Amino acid sequence: MTLRTEIKDGVALVTLDRPERHNAVDLATAAELAAIWRAFRFDDAVRAAVVTGAGGRAFCTGIDRSADVPQPSSPYSLDDPMLSIGPKANDLWKPVIAAVDGMACGGAFYLLGEAEFIVASENSTFFDPHTTYGMVSAYESIYMAQRMPLGEIARLSLMGTAERLGAARAYEIGLVSELTAPGAAAEVALRRAAAVAAQPSEAVQGTVRALWAAKEAARSQALAHAPQLIALGNLPPDRQAGLFAARKKHGTDGSRGGDGRDGRPPVR
């Protein structure tokens, strides 16, 4: 199993448990996440949930690059196992809080995009490497454009590995609702989840559904374009792999030093 689940006093703690892979999601993990969210729909002992990553170095770094996901030849179809990893994709309307410690990048945005709010430690960073490796950031950008100002997600997604959004800046722009000391995000998120779980569950779920209804139409329309944009804009897999290998070989991830507060490079 690549997930750990604990339930106490109405709150479920879901932990991505692949710290040696920075909690990257392989096909087994994707299937486990979908199954857990679906199971929570029928479990009255669960009134709220927290999702986090093990190890303290990363919340999640997206899909595991070793995962083999065959694709149809049609540009109008896309098989993306990450589409099913979030609670809303599995029709779960019990509130979910994301607790981020360390890196959250790329496909992690599928999970963050479907959480009610995000608690993050002060040493957390958010980034999207897609363009650097010849891939379109479609689903990720769409999810996050509904959580943060358009200019901020545009900067994050277009600059690839050259940009890092630090926790302080993420808090300033509203992506993160609360900052914690390093290593304390899950603990704080669990306390917030306990407060939510103490409210009548029917009222809480109805409120969650109402909040998502406010932006559901725009999100659905935007997501409908994602498969074609990815099919047209992605480089062939061998060229993507070449870019990834070249960056690892040169020992750089493309990031630049900032001021230590918001993860942004100094103006030059």
* pTM of this structure: 0.87
Cross-strand partners of 88:
none
Q: Minimal CA–CA distance to 159: which of 25, 263, 23, 24? A: 263
Of the candidates 142, 114, 149, the one whose C-alpha atom is nearest the C-alpha of residue 128 is: 142
How far lies 3's CA from each of 20, 23, 25, 83, in Å?
Answer: 13, 10, 10, 18
3-state SS class at 119? strand
What's the pLDDT score for residue 252? 38
Pick the CATH number of 1-63+79-268 from 3.90.105.10, 3.40.50.11740, 3.90.226.10, 3.40.50.300: 3.90.226.10
pLDDT tens digits, one per residue of 190-220: 999 999 999 999 999 999 999 999 988 888 8
Domain borders along the chain are 1-63+79-268
Of 158, 61, 48, nearest in space to 100 by CA: 61
Please give the chain's pLDDT, 268 residues, in tens. 799 999 999 999 999 999 999 999 999 999 999 999 999 999 999 999 999 999 999 999 999 988 787 777 776 777 888 999 999 999 999 999 999 999 999 999 999 999 999 999 999 999 999 999 999 999 999 999 999 999 999 999 999 999 999 999 999 999 999 999 999 999 999 999 999 999 999 999 999 999 999 988 888 888 888 888 888 898 888 898 899 888 776 543 433 233 333 333 322 2
- Phi and psi angles of residue 6, each rounded to the nearest 5 degrees, phi first: -130, 140
Mean pLDDT of the chain: 89
List pLDDT tens digits, range 85-123: 999 999 999 999 999 999 999 999 999 999 999 999 999
